[in-house]
């Protein structure tokens, strides 16, 4: 049975990868509809011939790597189960200490190390192509440093989560999913509170915006929107990327509006003010808190489904997967597979909600600034800097895009511009 599961898994992954290669490189059509050709949304009007070719090449590679990476994790964890490595990790942990927390830490350390070794090649391929296409400016040493920081941050959180999770499963086989969700609420809020001041600075240097004249303009815009903002932060990203970005992070007193220095270097003040107005919309319309609420709701459903699926899988395939019971830590790879699958399946819904919020933020920004031209030029520059497809394939949009496509965003602003020009 174990050999059959492994064979079907490998075959399924191969066919899945073959489908997405065919879809992205031979089937999907990214040409603009006829009615938008020659408009400000047409990349041929603001990208040169080489940039058009590079955009298509890089986007296809990046999208293929995205669709391959998540199922690759499923295959890795399935292999850990079928080969008996999960049992070996548990054995080594129990031989090393009699304390449960230490045993959990050792098990998670082995699992995390094997996962890091298995997934690093795909991560490196993604890094290599971003360097080749001049998106990334990061040195290999700096990239490796970030990968190691990721490893240790994820390891620390995972040890705590796994230890508590299996305590709950052992206490209540039927209700652990509910108790785990109840703990998810304060834990998630705590992480969001810490993110801007503890976790993010591990990767990059943050500082108050150095351009005080620009900061005054941004704060004036915030005052106009009734936002109690005192500072705007910039982050040193030019040593890592040529891409542009700005975002809102954190909650409560730790919430921050952040601009990448690449954005400051490549956009004029009007473009930056448009981006800031967009980010302010997330605060005004409470998108962060709506997002937290949606995440907690999905977490409740996801944990319940995980409980049901784990019980079914261990009952039917426990022998093949070498899992004697759900409450045995050897079931952790199965738990991670199910959680990852549910996140992947639910991503079209979460992306749909996110795109709606981002569209609302675009509308708010243009109403606040009354400058659609700055917005159009900003989106054109974002497209150029990130080699992003203006009109991506449908499956890419559904599974990857938490923002509207550049076609949608630019056309919306052009329609606003025409409408208000006519009103005048």
**Residue 420 is labelled as binding a ligand:** no
Distance (Å, rounded) from C-alpha 132 to C-alpha 114?
28
Per-residue DSSP letter, 241 = B
Task: State the sign of the Cα–Cα–Cα–Cα dihedral 390, 394, 398, 404.
Answer: positive
**Residue 358 is labelled as binding a ligand:** yes
Count of helix runs (H) and strand runs (E) in the chain: 14, 4
Catalytically annotated residues: 279, 362
Are the CB atoms for 19 and 63 separated by under 8 Å? no
3-state secondary structure of 258: strand
The edge-to-edge listing of strands for the beta sheet with 256-260 is 206-208, 233-235, 256-260, 246-249
- Number of CB atoms found within 10 A of residue 158's CB: 20
To the nearest 10°, the Cα dihedral for 128, 133, 134, 140? 10
**Residue 282 is labelled as binding a ligand:** yes
Distance (Å, rounded) from C-alpha 295 to C-alpha 303?
12
DSSP string, 265-288: HHS-HHHHHHHHHHHHHHHHTTHH
The annotated binding site is made up of 278, 282, 358
The annotated binding site for Zn(2+) is made up of 278, 282, 358
């Amino acid at each position: 049975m174990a050999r059959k599961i492994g064979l079907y898994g490998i075959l399924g992954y191969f066919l899945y990868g073959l489908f997405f290669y065919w879809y992205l490189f031979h089937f999907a059509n990214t040409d603009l509809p006829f009615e938008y050709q020659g408009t400000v949304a047409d990349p041929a009007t603001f990208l040169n011939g080489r940039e058009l070719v590079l955009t298509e090449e890089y986007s296809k590679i990046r999208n293929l790597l995205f669709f391959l990476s998540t199922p690759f994790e499923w295959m890795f964890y399935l292999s850990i189960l079928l080969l008996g490595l999960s049992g070996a990790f548990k054995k080594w942990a129990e031989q090393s200490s009699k304390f449960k927390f230490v045993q959990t830490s050792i098990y998670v350390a082995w699992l995390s190390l094997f996962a890091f070794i298995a997934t690093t090649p795909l991560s490196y391929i993604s890094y290599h192509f971003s360097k080749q296409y001049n998106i990334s400016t990061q040195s290999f040493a700096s990239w490796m440093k970030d990968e190691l920081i990721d490893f240790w941050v994820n390891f620390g959180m995972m040890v705590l989560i796994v230890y508590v999770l299996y305590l709950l499963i052992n206490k209540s086989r039927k209700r652990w999913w509910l108790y785990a969700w109840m703990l998810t609420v304060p834990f998630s809020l705590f992480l969001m509170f810490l993110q801007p001041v503890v976790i993010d600075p591990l990767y990059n240097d943050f500082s108050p915006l150095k351009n005080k004249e620009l900061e005054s303009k941004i704060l004036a815009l915030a005052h106009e929107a009734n936002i109690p903002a005192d500072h705007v932060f910039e982050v040193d990203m030019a040593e890592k990327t040529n891409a542009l970005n700005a975002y809102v992070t954190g909650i409560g007193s730790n919430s921050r509006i952040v601009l990448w220095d690449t954005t400051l270097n490549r956009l004029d003040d009007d473009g930056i003010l448009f981006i800031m107005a967009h980010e302010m919309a997330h605060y005004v319309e409470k998108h962060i808190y709506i997002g937290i609420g949606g995440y907690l709701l999905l977490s409740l459903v996801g944990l319940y489904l995980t409980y049901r699926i784990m019980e079914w899988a261990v009952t039917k395939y426990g022998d093949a997967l070498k899992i004697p019971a759900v409450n045995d830590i050897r079931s952790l790879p199965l738990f991670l597979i199910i959680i990852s699958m549910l996140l992947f399946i639910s991503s079209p819904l979460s992306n749909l909600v996110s795109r709606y919020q981002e569209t609302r933020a675009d509308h708010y920004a243009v109403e606040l600034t009354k400058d659609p031209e700055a917005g159009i030029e900003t989106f054109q520059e974002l497209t150029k800097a990130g080699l992003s497809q203006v009109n991506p394939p449908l499956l890419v949009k559904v599974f990857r895009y938490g923002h509207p496509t550049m076609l949608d965003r630019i056309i919306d602003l052009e329609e606003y511009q025409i409408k208000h020009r006519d009103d005048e």
